[in-house]
Each structure stands twice: as structure tokens, then as C-alpha cells.
Amino acid sequence: MQIDLTAKTALVTGSTQGIGRAIAATLADAGARVAINGRRPESVTTTIDELRAESDARDLIAAPGDVTTQQGADDVLAACGTVDVLVNNLGIFGATPAMEIDDDQWRRYFEVNVLSAVRLLRATLPGMIERGWGRVLNIASDSAIVIPAEMIQYGTSKTALLAVSRGFAKEAAGTGVTVNSVIAGPTHTGGVEDFVYQLVDKSLPWDEAQREFMKQHRPQSLLQRLIEPEEIANMVAYLASPLASATTGAAVRVDGGYVDSIVP
């Protein structure tokens, strides 16, 4: 199979690092014009320079802005122009004891992890429907299904994102536009390294810390290691392509077998 996104414009939120950066690189390698997004213009510029240094064939544009606000989202969309592929990757996470999660933190998680995606969906989906083609991918998490005791605010926000995806897929029914969630499992990013060291002995070397984290906190993983961001990106690229035309309203798992369930 060949994934060809030539002449398509993709917006990947939170794409200056981690999973978002890997998704942006993979979509660009498939021929898409990719908008790199982050809150700080400097980090966006640096990311574009680094991605182009890896491959000068990548068609990348800068789309800085805070999509958790209406003005920021407007600025980002203005930089993109027409959006054919929307990847709502932006998200925050962190360990907090359940009884210590106050109202402000609950609101913050829903603003960033849910409403930023809804805001961009409202803005881009009508154009996709009018053109008769489009792809929306919302990056969810295994935590949406297996709510972690140490961060229920995160898991609950990702559960809501699964519902958002299914609902908007119904809005786009029969139009040639697909809306899906990608359930990412425990993934190796800089932010996750920090999170791992919140839960295991900080003096351990990374390889030992990772194994200890998986053993103690994610023992049901069949992969028995953290997933690499590129492995998430490969699934996103497929779902963003014309090849995935019959997949919509789905929650597709790239979780290393972490969720002990046959479906989804």
C-alpha cells in the first residue's frame, strides 16, 4: 500500500514535540503540506528547521497559536488556509491524587484536551463536507478506557474525546469525510519520561525506569515496552489517507495491547 497525501493540507496541533512532531513528519513524508503548531513561534520555527534538515522535501508551514482560545485557533487556521486533514493532538497530562484535583484543574483538562478539538472541528468540518473529502483524527489514549487512578482528570477528558469523535462522525455521515479517534498507548516522549520519574525511583537509568514503570503501573501491556511516537504516526497517516475511506466513527487502538478488551 502506498499512502499518498499529495495536494492535501494537514494541521497537527501540538506538533513541536513528541507524538505530534512524529505525526507531522510522517504526513509530510506522505506528500502533505503540514502546518506545524505550538504556542510559541520560536519553537514552531525551530521544529520546522529541524524537520527540513532531516528531509528537505517536506512541505511545512508555520501555524503558531494557542488553540485553547478562540483567537489562537483563528490565528492558526488563518496560517493554514484550507485544512483537509485535522489532527487534534494537543493534550496535557500529569499525576494528581484524585481527591486533590480541584475545579480549576478539571476545567483546564477539558479546555485543553476536549474543547480545543471541538473548536477546530467546528471551524474545519463544514469546509471538508462541502468539498466532499476530509479526515479528522483525535488523539485519545488508553486512559480513556482504563482510567488511571493517578490521573483520573486526564482519563476522563480522553473518554470525552472518544464521544466527541463519534458524535462528529455522525455529523459528517455520508459526506466522504471521516472522523476517528486514535487510542495511543503508553508512548515514549520527553513528557512521559518526566511522568515515569514521578512514579518510580528517580535514580534509576532510563531503561530500568521504563521497565519498572511498565511492571508496576502498566503490567497488562502486551508489548511490554513504551510505544515509539513513529508507531502512532504510522496509524494516523493511514487513517488520514484515501485508503481508510471506510473507517469512520471508530476508536482505533495503537496501544501495545494495553487495553484488555476485544473491541474497540
**Are the beta carbons of 159 and 91 closer than 8 angstroms?**
no
Least confident range from 37-41, 66-70, 192-196: namely 192-196
Nearest to 114 by CA among 138, 135, 98: 138
In this structure, are 36 and 149 located in the same domain? yes
Task: Please tell me the distance from the alpha carbon of residue 82 to that of residue 119, in angstroms, as a whole number.
Answer: 16
In this structure, are 82 and 114 located in the same domain? yes
**Is residue 264 over pLDDT 80?**
no
Q: Which residues, in sequence order, are CB contacts of 82 under 8 Å at separation 6+?
A: 9, 127
Task: Please tell me the distance from the alpha carbon of residue 262 to that of residue 81, in angstroms, as a whole number.
Answer: 40
Residue type, 148: P
**How would you class 132 by CB atoms within 10 Å of its CB: exposed for 0-12, middle for 13-18, buried for 19 or more?**
exposed
pLDDT score for 52: 98
The C-alpha cell at 224 is: 511490554
In this structure, are 131 and 234 located in the same domain? yes
In this structure, are 136 and 55 located in the same domain? yes
Binned at pLDDT 50, 70 and 90, residue 73 comes out as very high
**Is residue 173 over pLDDT 80?**
yes
Task: Please tell me the distance from the alpha carbon of residue 85 to that of residue 107, in angstroms, as a whole number.
Answer: 27
**Which percentage of the chain shows pLDDT scores above 90?**
93
Q: Which is more confidently placed, 192 or 181?
A: 181
What is the number of H-type helices and E-type strands within the chain?
A: 9, 7
pLDDT score for 110: 98
In a domain, 120, yes or no: yes
Q: Which structural domain, as residue segments, surrounds residue 208?
A: 188-226
Task: Please tell me the distance from the alpha carbon of residue 7 to that of residue 263, in angstroms, as a whole number.
Answer: 34
In a domain, 263, yes or no: no
Q: What is the average per-residue pLDDT within 10-37? A: 98
In this structure, are 180 and 163 located in the same domain? yes
Q: What is the average per-residue pLDDT within 130-147? A: 97
pLDDT score for 37: 98
Facing residues of 138 across strands?
A: 88, 181
Angle at CA 169, nearest 5°, toward 167 and 172?
120
**Are the beta carbons of 67 and 73 closer than 8 angstroms?**
yes
In a domain, 72, yes or no: yes
In this structure, are 35 and 152 located in the same domain? yes
Catalytic residue list contains 154: yes
pLDDT score for 192: 84
pLDDT score for 225: 87
Task: Please tell me the distance from the alpha carbon of residue 48 to that of residue 55, in angstroms, as a whole number.
Answer: 11
**Which percentage of the chain shows pLDDT scores above 70?**
100
User: Hey, how many other C-beta atoms are within 10 angstroms of the C-beta on 55?
Assistant: 11
**Are the beta carbons of 178 and 135 closer than 8 angstroms?**
yes
Nearest to 136 by CA among 93, 186, 170: 170
Total tally of structural domains belonging to the chain: 2
In a domain, 123, yes or no: yes
pLDDT score for 195: 84
In this structure, are 167 and 210 located in the same domain? no
pLDDT score for 191: 79
**How would you class 110 by CB atoms within 10 Å of its CB: exposed for 0-12, middle for 13-18, buried for 19 or more?**
middle
0.85 exceeded by pTM: yes
**Is residue 176 over pLDDT 80?**
yes
Binned at pLDDT 50, 70 and 90, residue 256 comes out as very high
Phi-psi bin for 62: left (phi > 0), alpha (psi -120 to 50), beta? Answer: beta
The C-alpha cell at 118 is: 471541538
Binned at pLDDT 50, 70 and 90, residue 259 comes out as very high
**Is residue 255 over pLDDT 90?**
yes
In a domain, 3, yes or no: no
In a domain, 2, yes or no: no
In a domain, 211, yes or no: yes
pLDDT, the chain, mean: 96
What HEC string does 88-99 produce?
ECCCCCCCCCHH
Which residue reads 486533590 in cell numbers?
100
Query: Which residue among 109, 154, 197, 258 is the active-site one?
Result: 154
In this structure, are 221 and 148 located in the same domain? no
In this structure, are 201 and 122 located in the same domain? no
Least confident range from 31-35, 82-86, 122-126, 220-224: namely 220-224
**Is residue 190 over pLDDT 90?**
no
In this structure, are 206 and 239 located in the same domain? no
Least confident range from 69-78, 80-89, 183-192, 230-239: namely 183-192
Facing residues of 254 across strands?
A: 184
In this structure, are 126 and 95 located in the same domain? yes
CATH number at residue 144: 3.40.50.720
In this structure, are 100 and 192 located in the same domain? no
Q: What is the average per-residue pLDDT within 161-178? A: 98
- Backbone dihedral angles phi then psi of residue 224, each to the nearest 5 degrees: 60, 30
